[in-house]
Amino acid sequence: MKPEPWAQALATVAAAGQAAVGQAEAGPDTAKPVLIVPSPAGERFTQATAHELAGEDRLVFACGRYEGIDERVMEWAAEHFTVRPMSLGDYVLNGGEVAVLAMVEAIGRLLPGVVGNPESLVEESHSDGLLEYPVYTKPSSWRDRDVPAVLLSGNHGKIAQWRRHEQYRRTAERRPDLLEDFDAAKLPRADRTAFTDLGYDVVDGHLKRRADAVGDSA
């Protein structure tokens, strides 16, 4: 995409944003709006990025199409914006709009008041670097399938432990890459044992997959 239409559009957006902030407030210390440029060649958009961007005052999104946007626009835009090329994942979409819809939803739901119960954001997948534990509803028995008995026990300590161990199991099965960054230094004994059963040892505070662990192809 050619540079000049982008420069004109972004200059208009930057001026409108400045007017919204108010000239009195605007000064050398006024933070530049963040310009997110969706691109498969950008940094990966994660839950941590969503949290970071939810704390910004102003976000601007520039959706590319075709081969993308002329690179000189990024250099020029850096005078007015903090430019962040950002990828939704390692695949190629036709345009940036779908990527931006996903980002706006992930960022927006972290803003106060958007999600009714803020507690529900705390234990979600990726909030602590792990996948979420399985969730269940009523009835406790449905089509010959029962909710795990521990969840009906009323023992909050046991329920919390079961949920943590299910997080470990799920993450090890589906996204073992997430465990590479997991801080295992202060795990209680029962949690270390859970990881041992999953084929991991704790070495220097990090999880190491045992060579003899079941499921390894080597």
Of 7, 93, 110, 147, which one interacts with ligand SAM (CB under 6 A)?
93
Q: Which is nearer to ligand SAM, 30 or 47 (CB)?
A: 47
Q: Left if phi > 0, otherwise alpha if psi is -120 to 50, otherwise beta: which for 23?
A: alpha
x-or-dash pattern for ligand SAM, window 45-84, by CB under 6 A?
------------------xxx-xx----------------
134 scored as a contact of ligand SAM (CB under 6 A): no
Q: Which residue is nearest to ligand SAM (CB)?
A: 64
**Least spacing, CB of residue 2 vs ligand SAM, in Å:** 13
Considering only residues 2 to 31 of the shown chain, the ones binding ligand SAM according to CB under 6 A are none
Other C-beta atoms closer than 10 Å to the C-beta of 155 total: 12
Annotate 127-157 with three-state secondary structure.
CCCCCCCCCCCCCCEECCEECCHHHHCCCHH
**Least spacing, CB of residue 35 vs ligand SAM, in Å:** 13
Considering only residues 160 to 189 of the shown chain, the ones binding ligand SAM according to CB under 6 A are none
Dump strand ranges (E) for 51-150: 59-61, 82-87, 141-142, 145-146
The rounded distance, in Å, linking the Cα atoms of 108 and 187 is 33
99 scored as a contact of ligand SAM (CB under 6 A): yes
Task: Please tell me the count of residues contacting ligand SAM according to CB under 6 A.
Answer: 19
Q: Which is nearer to ligand SAM, 92 or 149 (CB)?
A: 92
**Least spacing, CB of residue 214 vs ligand SAM, in Å:** 34
Helix, strand, or coil here: 204?
coil
Other C-beta atoms closer than 10 Å to the C-beta of 11 total: 13
**Least spacing, CB of residue 70 vs ligand SAM, in Å:** 11
Of 95, 134, 188, 205, which one interacts with ligand SAM (CB under 6 A)?
95
Count of alpha carbons within 13 angstroms of residue 25, beta-carbon side = 9
The rounded distance, in Å, linking the Cα atoms of 35 and 179 is 31
Element containing residue 200 per DSSP (H, E): strand 200-203
| Beta pairing class for 145-146 and 141-142 | antiparallel
Q: Which is nearer to ligand SAM, 61 or 200 (CB)?
A: 61
Tokens linked to 69: 């946007």
Q: Which is nearer to ligand SAM, 26 or 41 (CB)?
A: 41
List contacts with ligand SAM (CB under 6 A).
Answer: 38-41, 63-65, 67-68, 87-89, 91-96, 99
